[in-house]
Amino acid sequence: MDRPWDETARCNLRICRVADHNRRATRAYAPPQILANTPEQQAVWDDQLNLLEAAFYAPGRIALPAAYGTSLSVGQPCVLIARANKDSWVISVADPTQTLRQIKVTLSGKTQQEVLFELPTGGGAGETVTKTMTR
């Protein structure tokens, strides 16, 4: 079966590939920093993306890099991704066991903030929930 060919799409694809290659080639790569690697938790920090990725196998606390002057703790086992923006944190949590109804996340620094994430149940159990917290 013949497919119509769109020359514009072909050119745009080439431009995007070249732009992506050039961006990656000029940006210095810094590997993620390992913040924790224990039986209770595993966590890495990506300085270029301002991103924390963590797996908590028990309630616990992670000290974030000094520039952020804060720590993050969870009250229940979970997987978590947190991105630091200029004036907020965007935090996503999930319960891979699909048994929890809520997860408490606390950011401690100059001030302490606690947020309760209500988790989906039934057919939505295990899905990710995202909230924003001010810095």
Give Cβ neighbours of residue 101 (< 8 Å, ≥ 6 apart).
Answer: 118, 119, 121
| The model scores a pTM over 0.85 | no
Please say whether the dihedral angle defined by the alpha carbons of residues 71, 107, 69 and 78, taken in this order, is positive or negative: positive
Return d(Cα 86, Cα 74) in angstroms, integer: 23
The CATH T-level fold of domain 33-134 is Chondroitinase Ac; Chain A, domain 3 (2.60.220)
pLDDT digits 0-9 by tens, 72-129: 999 999 999 999 998 899 999 999 999 999 999 999 988 899 999 999 999 999 999 9
